[in-house]
Amino acid sequence: MALKQDATGYVLTVKIHPDEIPEELLRDFVGARYMIAMARLNDDETPLLYKNKVQQAGILCRDSRFHEWLVAEHFATKPTERDATEFLYQACGISSRTELNGNRAAQTAFTEMVNEYEKWRKDDEPF
Protein backbone atom coordinates (compact mmCIF):
# COMPACT_ATOMS: atom_id res chain seq x y z
CA MET A 1 0.00 0.00 0.00
CA ALA A 2 2.77 2.45 0.90
CA LEU A 3 6.51 2.75 1.36
CA LYS A 4 8.09 5.74 3.06
CA GLN A 5 11.33 6.56 4.83
CA ASP A 6 11.71 8.06 8.28
CA ALA A 7 14.71 8.74 10.53
CA THR A 8 14.98 5.08 11.61
CA GLY A 9 14.51 3.36 8.24
CA TYR A 10 11.77 2.43 5.83
CA VAL A 11 8.12 2.02 6.78
CA LEU A 12 6.14 -0.44 4.69
CA THR A 13 2.36 -0.42 4.91
CA VAL A 14 0.67 -3.60 3.73
CA LYS A 15 -2.94 -4.59 3.13
CA ILE A 16 -3.99 -8.07 4.27
CA HIS A 17 -7.29 -9.65 3.32
CA PRO A 18 -9.40 -10.38 6.44
CA ASP A 19 -9.48 -14.10 5.62
CA GLU A 20 -5.67 -14.26 5.45
CA ILE A 21 -4.65 -12.41 8.61
CA PRO A 22 -3.54 -14.60 11.51
CA GLU A 23 -5.72 -14.12 14.59
CA GLU A 24 -2.59 -13.90 16.76
CA LEU A 25 -1.59 -10.77 14.87
CA LEU A 26 -4.89 -9.11 15.75
CA ARG A 27 -4.54 -10.01 19.42
CA ASP A 28 -0.88 -9.00 19.79
CA PHE A 29 0.16 -5.67 21.32
CA VAL A 30 0.76 -2.64 19.10
CA GLY A 31 4.46 -2.37 18.43
CA ALA A 32 5.10 -6.14 18.42
CA ARG A 33 7.77 -7.00 15.87
CA TYR A 34 7.11 -9.49 13.11
CA MET A 35 9.16 -10.78 10.24
CA ILE A 36 7.69 -11.32 6.78
CA ALA A 37 9.08 -12.74 3.56
CA MET A 38 8.35 -10.98 0.30
CA ALA A 39 9.08 -11.76 -3.30
CA ARG A 40 8.09 -10.00 -6.47
CA LEU A 41 5.76 -12.19 -8.52
CA ASN A 42 5.98 -13.06 -12.18
CA ASP A 43 2.82 -12.98 -14.31
CA ASP A 44 2.27 -16.68 -13.57
CA GLU A 45 2.35 -16.03 -9.78
CA THR A 46 5.78 -17.65 -9.33
CA PRO A 47 8.41 -15.68 -7.40
CA LEU A 48 10.87 -13.62 -9.39
CA LEU A 49 14.36 -14.71 -8.40
CA TYR A 50 16.86 -11.94 -7.70
CA LYS A 51 20.48 -12.92 -7.72
CA ASN A 52 23.20 -10.74 -6.35
CA LYS A 53 25.96 -11.81 -8.72
CA VAL A 54 28.72 -10.30 -6.55
CA GLN A 55 27.57 -12.30 -3.54
CA GLN A 56 26.98 -15.40 -5.67
CA ALA A 57 30.51 -15.11 -7.09
CA GLY A 58 32.00 -14.89 -3.60
CA ILE A 59 30.10 -17.97 -2.46
CA LEU A 60 31.02 -19.86 -5.61
CA CYS A 61 34.75 -19.19 -5.23
CA ARG A 62 34.65 -20.77 -1.74
CA ASP A 63 32.60 -23.79 -2.87
CA SER A 64 34.57 -27.06 -2.90
CA ARG A 65 32.27 -28.47 -5.62
CA PHE A 66 33.15 -25.47 -7.82
CA HIS A 67 36.81 -26.27 -7.17
CA GLU A 68 36.13 -29.86 -8.30
CA TRP A 69 34.54 -28.52 -11.49
CA LEU A 70 37.64 -26.40 -12.16
CA VAL A 71 39.75 -29.56 -11.91
CA ALA A 72 37.33 -31.67 -13.99
CA GLU A 73 37.26 -29.05 -16.74
CA HIS A 74 41.09 -28.67 -16.62
CA PHE A 75 40.96 -25.04 -15.52
CA ALA A 76 43.07 -25.79 -12.42
CA THR A 77 44.95 -28.70 -10.88
CA LYS A 78 44.46 -28.11 -7.14
CA PRO A 79 42.42 -24.93 -6.78
CA THR A 80 42.11 -22.72 -3.75
CA GLU A 81 39.64 -19.91 -3.22
CA ARG A 82 42.20 -17.51 -4.68
CA ASP A 83 42.63 -19.72 -7.79
CA ALA A 84 38.87 -19.88 -8.24
CA THR A 85 38.66 -16.10 -7.93
CA GLU A 86 41.40 -15.62 -10.51
CA PHE A 87 39.58 -18.01 -12.87
CA LEU A 88 36.37 -16.05 -12.37
CA TYR A 89 38.15 -12.76 -13.16
CA GLN A 90 39.60 -14.25 -16.34
CA ALA A 91 36.37 -15.92 -17.46
CA CYS A 92 34.34 -12.74 -16.95
CA GLY A 93 36.99 -10.25 -18.08
CA ILE A 94 37.00 -8.37 -14.77
CA SER A 95 39.53 -7.42 -12.11
CA SER A 96 37.10 -7.34 -9.17
CA ARG A 97 33.84 -9.15 -8.35
CA THR A 98 32.16 -5.79 -7.76
CA GLU A 99 32.36 -5.21 -11.52
CA LEU A 100 29.57 -7.76 -11.82
CA ASN A 101 27.23 -5.02 -10.53
CA GLY A 102 27.11 -2.97 -13.71
CA ASN A 103 29.14 -4.69 -16.40
CA ARG A 104 26.61 -6.42 -18.67
CA ALA A 105 29.23 -8.39 -20.60
CA ALA A 106 30.71 -9.68 -17.33
CA GLN A 107 27.24 -10.57 -16.04
CA THR A 108 26.52 -12.55 -19.21
CA ALA A 109 29.87 -14.36 -19.01
CA PHE A 110 29.28 -15.10 -15.32
CA THR A 111 25.79 -16.48 -15.99
CA GLU A 112 27.14 -18.70 -18.78
CA MET A 113 29.92 -19.98 -16.50
CA VAL A 114 27.46 -20.70 -13.67
CA ASN A 115 25.15 -22.51 -16.12
CA GLU A 116 28.05 -24.71 -17.29
CA TYR A 117 28.97 -25.46 -13.68
CA GLU A 118 25.35 -26.26 -12.75
CA LYS A 119 25.03 -28.57 -15.76
CA TRP A 120 28.21 -30.38 -14.70
CA ARG A 121 26.89 -30.71 -11.13
CA LYS A 122 23.64 -32.25 -12.35
CA ASP A 123 25.45 -34.61 -14.72
CA ASP A 124 27.88 -35.59 -11.96
CA GLU A 125 25.18 -36.60 -9.45
CA PRO A 126 25.18 -40.38 -8.91
CA PHE A 127 21.39 -40.77 -8.60
- Rounded to two decimals, the pTM is 0.59
pLDDT band at 125 (very low <50, low <70, confident <90, very high): low
Res 12 pLDDT > 80: yes
Contacts of residue 8, Cβ cutoff 8 Å, sequence gap at least 6: none
pLDDT of residue 38: 79
Residue 97 forms part of a structural domain: yes
Helix intervals (H) in the chain? 23-27, 53-62, 64-72, 81-92, 104-124
Residue 106 forms part of a structural domain: yes
User: Judging by beta carbons within 10 Å of its beta carbon (0-12, 13-18, 19+), is residue 17 exposed, middle or buried?
Assistant: exposed
Residue 108 forms part of a structural domain: yes
Residue 13 forms part of a structural domain: no
Residue 101 forms part of a structural domain: yes
- What is the number of domains present in the chain? 1
Residue 72 forms part of a structural domain: yes
Which residue range(s) make up the domain with 98? 53-124
Residue 85 forms part of a structural domain: yes
For residues 45-73, give the mean pLDDT.
89
Residue 104 forms part of a structural domain: yes
